[in-house]
Amino acid sequence: MEQITRTRPFTRTERANLDRMLGQALADSHTAHLLVVERSPALFDEFDVPAHIQGWLSRLPARTLKEIAQAITYHP
């Protein structure tokens, strides 16, 4: 996966919200589609993902839920 510019480190709240979103995507194929394929701003808003992280997620070259989860996990 190509390297992209990272945002500042996630706060605890941001990380918790991202974890909730990933958990929902793992449990629900529609949520997974919204995250992986559409990178849905409405989904990001539902989980209180800030605009700068929404932009970062939208630019990720990830094509699978696993790749998105890895990018989030390894982000500082």
Domain ranges of the chain: 12-74
pLDDT of res. 2? 43
pTM across the whole model: 0.88
41: Cβ contacts below 8 Å, ≥ 6 apart: 54
Task: Name residues of the chain where pLDDT drops below 50.
Answer: 1-3
Q: For residue 74, which of 58, 56, 48 has the smallest C-alpha distance? A: 56
Q: Name the burial class of residue 70, with classes exposed (0-12), middle (13-18) and buried (19+) by CB atoms within 10 angstroms of its CB.
A: middle
pLDDT of res. 7? 66
Q: How many helices (H) and strands (E) does the chain have?
A: 5, 0
